[in-house]
Amino acid sequence: MALQPFLAAEAQRLARGTGLAAFDWYNVHPGPHVRAAMRRLRGLDEERAGAELIRAADLDLAGRTPYHLMVVMALDETGAGRTAVLRSRDSYALTGFVAALAAEAVARGRVRPGTHYACDVLEPAETLRRIRASEVSRLTEVVHDGSPADSLVEEGAL
């Protein structure tokens, strides 16, 4: 695994808006090749960089089924809280599904004119219900009581 700290502007905006005391975001790669490629491909033309990035991803995924996980943990100072895991085979399918939900909301007149973040205009409970009902992803939630035994094991455990 390779961890890459990443804090997009949207994530920063959401963290500020919720009043979180701390916020961390990492992209986790199943192997070292994508992260290494991203460092060395800066400045290359898009076509060559894209081909090398695909090759690196193929190396990292060799022998594995492609997957995309979003793991969100919200914990208090005692370690109690919740973890949500959104698993899909294809992050683009999930992105497309949410974009379709946003387009539907616009078409039905539920969004005021202008440019918006989807999270600001889509009703959260309805969005989660529709994601759960879709075939693009599986959403699971875990409630933590703060004990050290609380964990999510995704891969490699016996």
pLDDT for res 158: 46
Assigned domain for 34 exists: yes
What is the tens place of the pLDDT at every residue in 76-130? 888 888 888 899 988 899 999 999 999 999 999 999 999 999 989 999 999 999 9
The whole domain housing 27 covers 1-64
Confidence of residue 143 (pLDDT cuts 50, 70, 90): confident
Assigned domain for 157 exists: no
Same domain, 77 and 133: yes
Helix, strand, or coil (residue 138): strand
**Rg, C-alpha atoms of the chain:** 18
The secondary element (H helix, E strand) that includes residue 70 is strand 68-75
Assigned domain for 153 exists: no
Assigned domain for 156 exists: no
Q: Is the pTM of this model over 0.75?
A: no
Instruction: Identify the DSSP state of 146.
Output: S
In angstroms, how far apart are the furthest CA atoms of the chain?
52
What is the tens place of the pLDDT at every residue in 25-70? 888 888 889 888 988 888 888 999 999 999 999 999 898 888 888 8
Assigned domain for 39 exists: yes
Please give the tally of structural domains in the chain: 2
Same domain, 71 and 142: yes
